[in-house]
């Protein structure tokens, strides 16, 4: 651990922004003081923003590194290292790597590459972490897919020792939730997997049949598994108030990507935090035709932001929300303290005394943010 001072910085504190200096000792925030002075030996931040490291609860980025092109399998160790380095380079200091659990048997004629992979990949991530081979803090996020054949068996391969921090309840039944619009689903599935029209129709029919046959049992198993792991439970793509009420009964703590304003409002009424995707916010709308994140932000119905499939979008979204709300501290909270609170990480996510020195230094450039440093527990990693 190195002790250092980031001075003459624009510090993004939990409820305000202040010019000052931040002292790090033994990997923790030891002192915060106002002023523009630069003590001897301190780093002069020249007014740059200094804020907590970003906390990512849901990212598909690792899967992109493992399969950089369709049907191209990349060595896992190299993919994990590249994923970890990419996140550090964009200011993410804690990540919950999202891994799908729930596969479709190899005998299925209409499968879309839903083969089992989570247990083996999780073991590789954890082994690399234990060997001190990763720059940032990694936890697991198991995406429990109702429309599958093997969910219960795959969940049984994980335990409390596996750093599973989140279990999300995924239901991708065609015609509901994220893909209520079957045309949007057709564009997505056929574009990604190259299905013919007949293959697509078979895929839809088989997914609906799986949900009818196994969905309820799978959701019960996923809820039970979250309790066994000591993980937080998340819902996914809630669309109606009734679905949100069911999520609340299951013990869901935060909702990933509600698809309608109705669902987001119901989450707020039920005390469930609302998470939206940074790409949705930055692009100005959902690629699936669902509610726009900026609409929820303007209605005070947005609590947490996830980078989803574009890691660099997380920092950009915090700055965008800060501008939208005219409150930078509030915007930054959506990618730092709010996700930390959602998963019970009380040691990070805020510039406060005694917290982990997971920090980033950012310079504003034409509305965007250029990262100028990333520290994890006081060690510079980017």
- Kindly state the average pLDDT of the residues 176-184: 61
**Domain assignment of residue 369, given as a range:** 1-52+348-382
Q: Which residue has the higher pLDDT, 116 or 9?
A: 9
pLDDT at 295 exceeding the cut of 90:
yes
Shared domain for 35 and 135, answered yes or no, is: no
Percent pLDDT > 90 in the chain is 76
Tell me, what CATH number does 72's domain have? 3.20.20.140
Shared domain for 77 and 22, answered yes or no, is: no
**Tokens found for residue 52:** 């907590």
- Kindly state the average pLDDT of the residues 95-122: 78
Global pTM?
0.90
Shared domain for 352 and 240, answered yes or no, is: no
- Kindly state the average pLDDT of the residues 361-372: 92
Q: CA-CA distance, 210 to 70, in Å (whole number)?
A: 25
pLDDT at 121 exceeding the cut of 80:
yes
- Kindly state the average pLDDT of the residues 79-106: 92
pLDDT tens digits, 244-261: 999 999 999 999 999 999
Shared domain for 290 and 315, answered yes or no, is: yes
Counted domains in the chain: 2
Tell me, what CATH number does 39's domain have? 2.30.40.10
* pLDDT for position 203: 63
- Kindly state the average pLDDT of the residues 298-310: 96
pLDDT at 346 exceeding the cut of 60:
yes
Shared domain for 24 and 100, answered yes or no, is: no
* pLDDT for position 373: 97
Q: CA-CA distance, 150 to 171, in Å (whole number)?
A: 14
* pLDDT for position 186: 61
Shared domain for 187 and 319, answered yes or no, is: yes
Shared domain for 15 and 106, answered yes or no, is: no
State the pLDDT confidence band at 179, using cuts at 50, 70 and 90: low
- What does the mean pLDDT of the chain come to? 91
pLDDT at 169 exceeding the cut of 80:
yes
State the pLDDT confidence band at 1, using cuts at 50, 70 and 90: low
* pLDDT for position 215: 75
* pLDDT for position 107: 46
- Kindly state the average pLDDT of the residues 348-375: 95
- Kindly state the average pLDDT of the residues 35-52: 96
Shared domain for 39 and 143, answered yes or no, is: no
Contacts of 170 (CB under 8 A, 6+ apart): 100, 102, 143, 144, 145, 146, 236, 237
* pLDDT for position 304: 98
pLDDT at 284 exceeding the cut of 50:
yes
**Contact between 20 and 9 (Cβ < 8 Å):** yes
How would you label 306-344 residue by residue, b for 16+ Cβ within 10 Å and e otherwise? Answer: bbbbbbbbbbbbbbbbbeebeebbbbbbbbbbbbbbbbe
pLDDT at 294 exceeding the cut of 90:
yes
Shared domain for 161 and 177, answered yes or no, is: yes
* pLDDT for position 214: 78
Q: What are the backbone dihedrals phi and psi of residue 95, each rounded to the nearest 5 degrees, phi first?
A: -135, 145
Q: Which residue has the higher pLDDT, 306 or 106?
A: 306
What are the start-end ranges of the E strands in the chain? 4-12, 17-25, 28-34, 43-44, 49-52, 54-59, 92-101, 137-145, 164-170, 232-236, 254-256, 273-277, 304-306, 359-365, 368-376, 379-380
Shared domain for 141 and 289, answered yes or no, is: yes
Using CA of residue 348, residue 351, residue 353, residue 358, what is the dihedral sign? Answer: positive
Shared domain for 117 and 206, answered yes or no, is: yes
pLDDT tens digits, 17-42: 999 999 999 999 999 999 999 999 99
How would you label 211-221 residue by residue, b for 16+ Cβ within 10 Å and e otherwise? Answer: beebbeebbeb
pLDDT at 69 exceeding the cut of 50:
yes
pLDDT at 193 exceeding the cut of 70:
no
State the pLDDT confidence band at 345, using cuts at 50, 70 and 90: very high
* pLDDT for position 94: 98
Residue 135, Cα to own-chain centre: how many angstroms? Answer: 17
Total residues found in the chain within this entry: 382
pLDDT at 182 exceeding the cut of 70:
no
pLDDT at 147 exceeding the cut of 90:
no
pLDDT at 283 exceeding the cut of 90:
yes
State the pLDDT confidence band at 208, using cuts at 50, 70 and 90: confident
* pLDDT for position 201: 66
- Kindly state the average pLDDT of the residues 303-328: 97
Shared domain for 64 and 47, answered yes or no, is: no
- Kindly state the average pLDDT of the residues 128-140: 97
Angle at alpha carbon of residue 132, lines to 129 and 136, rounded to 5°: 65
């Amino acid at each position: 651990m190195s002790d250092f001072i980031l001075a003459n910085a624009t510090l993004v504190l939990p409820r305000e922004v202040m010019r000052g200096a931040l002292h790090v000792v033994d990997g923790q925030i030891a002192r915060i003081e106002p002023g523009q002075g630069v003590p001897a030996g301190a780093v002069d931040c020249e007014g740059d923003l200094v804020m907590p490291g970003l906390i990512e609860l849901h990212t598909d980025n690792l899967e992109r590194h493992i399969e950089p092109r369709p049907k191209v399998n990349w060595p896992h160790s190299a993919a994990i290292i590249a994923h970890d380095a990419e996140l550090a380079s964009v200011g993410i200091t804690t990540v919950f790597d999202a891994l799908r659990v729930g596969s479709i048997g190899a005998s299925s004629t209409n499968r879309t590459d839903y083969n089992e992979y989570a247990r083996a990949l999780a073991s590789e991530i954890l082994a690399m972490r234990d060997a001190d081979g990763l720059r940032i803090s990694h936890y697991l996020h198991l995406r429990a897919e109702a429309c599958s054949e093997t969910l219960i068996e795959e969940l049984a391969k994980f335990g409390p020792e596996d750093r599973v921090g989140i279990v999300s309840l995924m239901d991708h039944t065609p015609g509901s939730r994220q893909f209520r619009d079957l045309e949007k689903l057709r564009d997505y599935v056929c574009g990604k997997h190259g299905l013919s029209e007949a293959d697509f129709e078979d895929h839809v029919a088989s997914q609906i049949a799986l949900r009818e046959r196994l969905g309820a049992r799978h959701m019960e198993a996923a809820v039970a598994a979250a309790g066994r792991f000591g993980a937080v439970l998340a819902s996914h793509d809630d669309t109606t108030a009734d679905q949100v009420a069911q999520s609340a009964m299951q013990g869901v703590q935060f909702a990933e990507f509600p698809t309608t304003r109705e669902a987001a409002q119901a989450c707020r009424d039920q005390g469930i935090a609302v998470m939206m995707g940074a790409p949705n916010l930055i692009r100005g709308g959902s690629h699936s035709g669902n509610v726009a994140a900026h609409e929820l932000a303007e209605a005070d119905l947005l609590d947490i932001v996830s980078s989803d499939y574009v890691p660099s979008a997380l920092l950009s979204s915090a700055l965008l929300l800060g501008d939208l709300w005219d409150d930078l501290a509030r915007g930054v909270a959506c990618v730092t303290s709010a996700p930390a609170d959602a998963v019970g990480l009380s040691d990070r996510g805020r510039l406060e005394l005694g917290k982990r020195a997971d920090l980033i230094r950012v310079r504003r450039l034409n509305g965007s943010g250029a990262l100028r440093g990333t520290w994890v527990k006081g060690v510079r990693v980017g």
